[in-house]
A and B are shown apart, each in its own frame.
Chain A
Amino acid sequence: MIIQVPPTVPVVPEQLDPSAVPLAVPEIVWSAVAPALVLMIGGILLLTVVSLVRKPLPSWFHATWTVATATAAICATVPLWQRVQDNGASSEMAGTVGLDGFSLFVTGVICVSVILAALLLEGYLRREDLVGPEWYVLMLLSASGGVVMASANDLIVLFLGLEILSVAVYVLAAMHSRRTSSQEAGLKYFVLGAFSSAFLLYGIALTYGATGSTNLAGIQTFLADNVLVDNGLLLAGLAFMLVGFGFKVAAVPFHMWAPDVYQGAPTPVSAYMAAGVKAAGFAGLLRVFVTTFGPTYREEWMPMVAALAVLSLVVGSVMAIIQTNVKRMLAYSSISHAGFILLGVAAASDAGTSAALFYLLVYTFMVAGSFGVVTLIGRKGDGRHSLEDYRGLSRARPGLALVFTVFLLAQSGIPLTGGFLAKFYVIGAIVDEGLYALAAVAMLTAVISAFLYLRVIVAMYFAGPAGAEEGSEEPAEFAGPPVRIPAAAGLALGLALVGTLALGIVPGPATEVTRDATAELTVGN
């Protein structure tokens, strides 16, 4: 194959052209990147403060600091959101950072996942004797990477955001120093993550070669103005980038790390990975594929994304059913959720994007809540995750069992929970595009996956004691040490519960917001 590059130098954003403005330093509008800055500075400050203070600070201090930082980041998005709604989207820092409703919404979702995970982490670290600020620092830094990724308007920035996000999470996954499975999870995540980032990078390089720009707006304009005679380079770039994003969002067949890593990683970290990291991954996917290549290359990438979506839906729910480890089961179910969100991506429409964003928000609450319960049931050692360990929970901890039931039912898509509307909007979006087959697959797998959530519920409420088939007149006894619910974890579960239910009962405001959170690519402001 002879690879041809456009013969003339194509559109390059002026700021990057060295001959035009030799020593131009782009104007830095700090306010535009305020949320990412808040998270990053919050993380670094926490590290500094802890190093400067002689006595070890109490565990609650780190968690409170983290929650406060993430809350501040959410607050920082509010005036920006107002600005975007009033004046429209813009891009800053020489067109590398986009400021639009989409990036701000995803920022909010990532911050919510940080808050929930930090609250869960507090009790977890005390229980496991691992108290230290590093966990929170890494989480805040990784979240800032996620925010950068979500607001990237340039492939370079996108890649940097992705790496900031990932490198911190590789470490977090391996942080439980006494669990060998945690280290295994860390290494697996690292090797495969770096491997697939390299694919993404290769794809970016090819795209750069084909279009002459790494700037998303530049690429979009270039493709709109030029018809490539030979688009092989660009298509290969798209395929490679999809591998990278597919890995981050755990789409089949790039999902294999997810069950192992979610299972092995410390449970609150799994919650953060499933909620926050995935949200950032989807943000990148949506921005690059739907917004940048949507208008011109939809026909080419849509079938690939749809195929990933269908595979994720089917493999995720089928594999989840045969699991006996609840944590691993949630990992597979999160793969099936990723399939649903990918359907929203595949719709490649405004409705699809809004549906995907709504799904991400609901999903953050549901999955963080579910992993939150799993954190508590795991008890000291973070090892009690088999279905057996949930038997009779309704007697030992009726409240916890009920909350978990709500999260599981929400994940299966029962009406009056956010999960129902999330699935509903996605299916509505793909039906609008005439993709009926995909809608049918989505509904069928939703039915299949209902069983797996049911299995856990049955174990909690109805199952007899382990291994007693006959003579099962004894009610199920909850095995193992009692489950303690630290205040912070209780707060996290409460927040997640409120979020899950509120989005199902009064979804109006959130729906409006997701509809306003459109992604736009602009050159300059």
Chain B
Amino acid sequence: MLLNQFLLLAAILFSIGVYGVIVRRNGVLVLMSIELILNSVNINLIAFSTYHGLGGQVFALFVIAVAAAEVGVGLAIVLLIYRNRRSVDIDALDELKG
């Protein structure tokens, strides 16, 4: 089977996602990076499910649903901030620190 290749793909996607969260300043792109990580998880789950039965695929469906909800809330918050600041630069949010 091609399990290792799938896992590798997932790991690469995961890393790209993490990289994106760390270096991107645009709030929307940060959200997209998080989506990337969640999708890497889905690839993992589905790859494993070929060995372990349907549980993984069910889980993947849940993850997709949750990701949608999460992004919905996330975009709402980003929008709220955009309304107040006319910017989605998350580095501008440094009022709280220390």
Direct A–B contact in complex, judged by CB atoms less than 8 Å apart: yes
Q: Are the C-beta atoms of B98 and A167 separated by less than 8 Å?
A: no
Q: When each residue 112-156 of chain A gets 1 if its CB lies under 8 Å from chain B and 0 otherwise, what string results?
A: 000000000000000000000000000000000000000000011
Give chain A nearest CB distance to B40 CB in angstroms.
Answer: 7
Q: Are B34 and A198 in contact, with the CB atoms below 8 A?
A: yes
Distance of B86 from chain A, by nearest CB (Å): 13
Chain A hits for B56, CB < 8 A: 205, 208, 214
Contact of B51 among A5, A185, A204, A259 (CB under 8 A): A5
- Could you tell me if B96 and A202 are in contact, using CB atoms closer than 8 angstroms? no
Report how far A328 CA is from B80 CA in the complex, Å.
24
Indicate whether A208 sits within 8 Å of B96 (C-beta atoms), given known contacts A160-B66, A183-B81, A190-B73.
no
Write out the residue numbers on chain B whose beta carbons fall within 8 Å of the beta carbon of A61: none
Q: Which of A356-414 contact B (CB under 8 A)?
A: none
**Complex formed: what's the CA distance from A12 to B47 in Å?**
17
B78 in contact (CB, < 8 A) = yes
Q: In the complex the two chains form, what is the Cα distance from A155 to B81 in whole Å?
A: 34
Write out the residue numbers on chain A whose beta carbons fall within 8 Å of the beta carbon of B76: 171
Does A3 contact B4, Cβ atoms closer than 8 Å?
Answer: yes
Known pairs A159-B66, A181-B95; A214 contacts B55 (CB<8 A): yes
* A contact residues around B90 at 8 Å (CB): 187, 191
Chain A residues lying within 8 Å of B97, measured Cβ to Cβ, are 260
Confirm or deny: B2 has a beta carbon within 8 angstroms of a beta carbon on chain A: no
**B54 vs chain A, min Cβ distance (A):** 5
Candidates A9, A163, A185, A260; contact of B66 at CB < 8 Å: A163
Chain B residues, Cβ within 8 Å of A155: 59
Cα–Cα, bound, A183→B10 (Å): 33
* A38 CA to B76 CA, complexed, in Å: 28
CB–CB A187/B93 < 8 A: yes
Q: Knowing A10-B52, A214-B59 touch, does A198 contact B96 (C-beta < 8 A)?
A: no
Is A276's beta carbon under 8 Å from chain B? no
Query: B66: nearest residue on chain A (CB-CB)?
Result: A163
- Chain B residues closer than 8 Å to A174, beta-carbon distance: 77, 80
Asked whether, in the complex, the Cβ of A3 is within 8 Å of the Cβ of B78, the reply is: no
Please state if A187 and B81 are interface contacts (CB–CB under 8 Å): yes
Contact flag A208-B34 (CB < 8 Å), given A181-B96, A190-B74, A328-B98: no
Q: Which of chain B's residues have a CB closer than 8 A to the CB of A12? A: 52-53, 55
Report the interface size for chain B: residues with CB under 8 A from the other chain.
48
Contact A3–B73 (Cβ < 8 Å): no
Which of chain B's residues have a CB closer than 8 A to the CB of A188? 93, 96
Residue A18 CB within 8 A of the other chain: yes
Interface string of A1-18 (1 = CB under 8 A from B): 011011001101000111
Nearest CB of A to B36, in Å: 9
Q: Which residues of B contact A17 (CB under 8 A)?
A: 53
Q: Are A202 and B55 touching (Cβ within 8 A)?
A: no
Q: Report A16 CB to chain B, min CB distance, Å.
A: 5
B46 CB to closest chain A CB (Å) equals: 10
Q: What is the distance, in angstroms, from B71's C-beta to the closest C-beta of chain A?
A: 8
Alpha-carbon distance between A159 and B55 when the two chains are bound, in angstroms: 14
Cα distance, A197 to B70, chains bound together (Å): 11
Q: Are B48 and A3 in contact (CB under 8 A)?
A: no
Question: Contacting A198 at CB < 8 Å: which of B38, B53, B74?
Answer: B38
Say if the beta carbon of B9 comes within 8 Å of chain A.
no
CA gap between A171 and B70 in the complex, in Å: 11
Per the bound structure, the CA–CA distance linking A213 and B56 in Å amounts to 8
* Cβ-based interface call for A242 (8 A): no
A5: which of B48, B80, B95 is its contact (CB, 8 Å)? Answer: B48
Assuming the contacts A160-B62, A264-B96, asked whether A209 and B77 have C-beta atoms less than 8 A apart, the reply is no
In the complex the two chains form, is A180's CB within 8 Å of B84's CB?
Answer: yes
- Nearest CB on B from A361, distance (A): 30
Q: A16-B54, A16-B55, A180-B95 are in contact. Are A202 and B14 (CB under 8 A)?
A: yes
Given A5-B48, A190-B73, A209-B44, verify A156-B37 contact (CB < 8 Å).
no
Contact A198 B84 (CB under 8 A): no
- Find A163's partner among B40, B58, B70 (CB 8 Å cutoff): B70
B48 touches A205 (CB 8 A): yes
Q: Is B63 an interface residue (CB 8 A)?
A: yes
Point out the residues of chain A lying under 8 angstroms from B84, CB to CB: 180, 183
Closest Cβ–Cβ distance, residue B79 to chain A (whole Å): 10
Q: Are B96 and A213 in contact (CB under 8 A)?
A: no
Q: Bound state CA distance, A59 and B89, in angstroms?
A: 36
Q: Please, how many angstroms separate the alpha-carbon atoms of A208 and B93 in the complex? A: 37
> A328 to B38, alpha carbons, bound, how many Å?
32
CB-defined contacts of B34 to chain A, threshold 8 Å = 191, 194-195, 198
Cβ contact of B44, chosen from A18, A181, A206, A328, cutoff 8 A: A206
Q: Which 10 A-B pairs have the closest CB atoms?
A: A260-B96, A198-B37, A209-B48, A205-B44, A212-B52, A184-B93, A201-B41, A163-B66, A194-B34, A205-B41
User: Chain B residues in contact with chain A, CB under 8 A?
Assistant: 3-4, 7, 10, 14, 17-18, 21, 27, 30-31, 34, 37-38, 40-41, 44-45, 47-48, 51-56, 58-59, 62-63, 66, 69-70, 73-74, 76-78, 80-81, 84-85, 90, 93, 95-98
Given contacts A16-B55, A209-B47, A260-B97, 12 further A-B pairs with CB under 8 A are A9-B51, A9-B52, A159-B62, A183-B77, A185-B96, A195-B18, A195-B34, A201-B38, A205-B59, A209-B51, A214-B55, A328-B98
14 A-B pairs within 8 Å (CB atoms) are namely A5-B48, A16-B53, A163-B70, A167-B69, A184-B93, A187-B77, A188-B96, A191-B34, A198-B34, A201-B41, A202-B40, A208-B48, A214-B59, A328-B98
